[in-house]
Copies of this chain bind each other. A is one copy, B any other.
Amino acid sequence: MLQLRDLPTPETLHKFAQRYPEADISAISSFLHLLRVATDLSSALDECLQRHGLLQGRWWVLILLMREESLSSMPSTLADKAGVTRATMTGLLDGLERDGLVERIFDAQDRRRVSIRLTTSGQARLDQVMPDYYSRLRLCMAGLDEAQRAQLQAMLGHIASNVDAFTR
């Protein structure tokens, strides 16, 4: 995703809007601000995770496993839930297995299947990361009270319901 260190000035937006009459200045501005804040949050999250020797993709896989009663799931399910391809998931699991945070268990019934299981070492790593992550997140969102958070989510919902307009 774009990093967007340098958002357009009002002058720049105006200049672009002159050349491209399709431009809706406040729409562009809101969109870019949203992406900007999201990427800033994502970078901050990266930094937090790296202190614990994790990267976003791998960390999210651990969380998905911890959500399961059995602490295990299949690569294809994990790929769907994480929003990546199965090929990408293979790579993430390779890394996690190499670090001993996860183990592959081959299914004897259906020999195409593999079960991915969170190891005790993986659980321990999460127990180390999550309190830190949650504490930081609490501080980060402290600027908004409950009502504002609800309002933010409502507005995000309005956008989300129109995202397919972008694609179509």
Contact = CB atoms under 8 A, between A and B. Distances in A.
Given A2-B56, A38-B34, A56-B2, A158 B134 contact: no
A85 B41 CA distance: 18
Number of copies: 2
Contacts of A39: 1, 38, 83
Contact of A134 (B22, B33, B84): B22
B83 A4 contact: yes
A91 B30 CA distance: 29
Interface in A42-80: 42, 44-45, 47-48, 56-57, 60, 64, 66-67, 80
Nearest to A135: B22
The binding surface of chain A is classed by DSSP as: helix
A95 interface: no
Interface of A: 1-6, 8, 12, 15-16, 19-20, 22-24, 26-31, 33-42, 44-45, 47-48, 56-57, 60, 64, 66-67, 80-84, 127, 130-131, 134-144, 146, 148-153, 155-167
